[in-house]
Chain A
Amino acid sequence: MQDKITGRIYKFGDNVNSDIIIAGRYLIYIDPVKLAEHAFEMLGEGFPARLRSFDILVAGRNFGCGSAREQASTAIQGLGIKAVVAASFARTFYRNAINDGLPIFECPAVYDAVAEGDELSIDLAAGLISHSGRDYEFPRIPESVAKILQLGGLANYLKSTLEAGAAPR
């Protein structure tokens, strides 16, 4: 995972559910590129194409609520999105994003401050999100869990522990 994530943001409201992110009929795929072709298409014409010119998604409360489908975070990554900042996340999306290697940040103040197209810069080491000259602190992901994200997701993490000989019985 990079130490710094910067880019233009696209802004969503509250309660963006995982059916909107990727509809059930596409769960036959697990490949990020294939999933991204249909990501957010429930929002209507122009989607997902217009999201491809943005780097970071910013959303309100309860992002990713609803279904536990992991493909919601995979589809977002397939669009080339580098991170999601939200006022809050639904717990299944939160876990899936970490397990999928998609950096996520819980920060209500950023949601209130930004508008579509703004530049955002996330400094992981400092624990800060910068926007128009202001810094916002975000709560760090617990260290034991952050390791999963740092290795690019749970599959890589598991592979590394299996290879390290910490094999389960």
Chain B
Amino acid sequence: MSQTIAEKILAAKAGLERVKPGQIVDAYPDLVMSHTATWRSVSVMKKIGAKRLYDPNRLAIVLDHISPAKTEKYAADQQTSRNFAREYGIEKFYDVDAGIAHLVLMEHGHVKPGDLIVGTDSHCTIYGALGALGSGIGYTEVASVWVTGKLWMKVPTTIKLTLNGRFAAGVSAKDLMLYLIGTLGADGCGYKSVEFYGSALPQMSVSERMTMANLAMEMGSKCVFIPPDEKTSEWLLPRLKDPASYQPVFADPEAVYEQSIDIDLAKLTPMIACPHQVENTKPVAEVMGTRIDQAFLGSCANGKYEDLVVAADILAGRKIDPRVRLIVTPGSKEIMLEAMRTGVLATLIESGALVTNPGCGACAGDGGTMADGEVSLSTANRNFVGRMGSNKSSIYLSSPATLAASALKGAIADPREFLR
């Protein structure tokens, strides 16, 4: 019988010939990611008296959320994580200088097609951009996988999304995802796997695919899959320690999908998620002119090099509205270095941006805190009440292009007005 990618990978990681939706299996992930939450998993290990790890090579630790530490408590927790990594010889340990865990792990070749990856972050779905299955779990469960090597997983049903056509100028992967989340709802893909196909995919960059796989979490997806192709191998092969380990896995052509949805990218327009739910989306045209106090360009959704370039292209030679604070947080050290070398950072700074060190930054409430009544526009993936400070502030979400245009205007603006 034909299998979806979730069925295929979960069967392989559970040592089974085949599995079917609804079945519960004991799966052995290839990688267990923990970020700033690592100290909590360490405390669970202590509490249960476990001393040995199933396989230290399967652990990856990245201190990304509050980096560098801003209070003694954060410092102590990071120290716990650092000491644990040292004690157990965790080679895939990245300290506060590295950036956002998801991006760092992909950039360093720790994620490859066919892998099953779990971690202390809901946006683990992003690994689907490289043809791997990723899913978020809590810190106790991470400790459990550290010790036992496995976790129970229910085999999900799958939704097939087929993308055809090309984006119009000023429209991007972020607009596509906001459109989808708005249409399908915050639980439109609840408990389900999402596979992307279509004639539009070969033209989409790895960076765009990361945005798609990341945002798919906001419609409840358990995991995401974008079939690896030439773009994937070109990006990933030079990053893999063992290039021979690049062995893409694909769904069978006759696999059974619960639902199939076709999207024509050419019909999409710039989109905005309004406060306080990601599913509360509207075309930019409907909220144009809404005043903003802060604009945040960053996060695992849109803090990548290409995202910074899109914003810089619009901001080059222009000045942002003086009433707006534009905060730029590159997703990783690699991204920041590239943006430095190519002059993108200089362009952003000259336009009036404040550039911070790489990491989760304001998306995770690290800097850029909002006061009562303030409005933030953000390229991140969540606009929940109070996420960036006061519960009387509000957050809109957009693409990097819309964000740059809005920073110039001091109010939500249509990026197509500023394209050169």
User: Are B190's CB and A66's CB within 8 A?
Assistant: no
User: Are A168's CB and B148's CB within 8 A?
Assistant: yes
User: Are B385's CB and A68's CB within 8 A?
Assistant: no
Binds B, one of A2-10, A93-101, A119-127: A93-101
Binds A, one of B46-54, B85-93, B409-417: B46-54
C-beta contact mask, B130-146 vs A, less than 8 Å → 1, else 0? 00000111111101100
Residues from chain A with a CB closer than 8 A to the CB of B37 are: 27, 69
A-B pairs with lowest CB-CB distance, top 5: A70-B138, A68-B136, A62-B187, A19-B384, A96-B138
**Whose C-beta in chain B lies nearest to the C-beta of A30?**
B40
User: Are B148's CB and A91's CB within 8 A?
Assistant: no
Interface assignment of A17: CB less than 8 Å from any CB of chain B: yes
User: Are A28's CB and B384's CB within 8 A?
Assistant: no
Q: Give min CB distance, A5 to chain B, whole Å.
A: 22
Residues from chain A with a CB closer than 8 A to the CB of B141 are: 70, 95-96, 99, 154
User: Are B387's CB and A90's CB within 8 A?
Assistant: no
How far does the alpha carbon of A68 sit from the alpha carbon of B136 in the complex, in Å?
A: 6
Interface assignment of A23: CB less than 8 Å from any CB of chain B: yes
Partner of B50, one of A15, A144, A158, A169: A158
Interface assignment of A92: CB less than 8 Å from any CB of chain B: yes
Q: A92-B122, A153-B140 are in contact. Are A44 and B191 (CB under 8 A)?
A: no
Chain A residues within CB distance 8 Å of chain B:
15, 17, 19-20, 23-25, 27-28, 30, 41-44, 61-62, 65-70, 88, 90-92, 95-96, 99-100, 142, 144-145, 153-155, 158-159, 162, 167-169
Residues from chain A with a CB closer than 8 A to the CB of B387 are: 19, 23-24
Q: Would you mind naming 19 contact pairs between A and B with Cβ atoms under 8 Å apart?
A: A17-B382, A19-B387, A23-B365, A68-B121, A68-B122, A70-B139, A90-B187, A91-B220, A96-B137, A96-B140, A99-B141, A100-B138, A142-B154, A155-B44, A155-B143, A158-B144, A168-B54, A168-B147, A169-B54
**Whose C-beta in chain A lies nearest to the C-beta of B390?**
A42
Partner of B190, one of A25, A91, A145, A158: A91
User: Are A158's CB and B220's CB within 8 A?
Assistant: no
Query: Which residues between 26 and 65 of chain B lie within 8 Å of chain A, taking CB atoms?
Result: 37, 40, 43-44, 47-50, 52, 54
Of A42, A65, A142, A162, which is in contact with the most chain B CB atoms at under 10 Å from its CB? A65
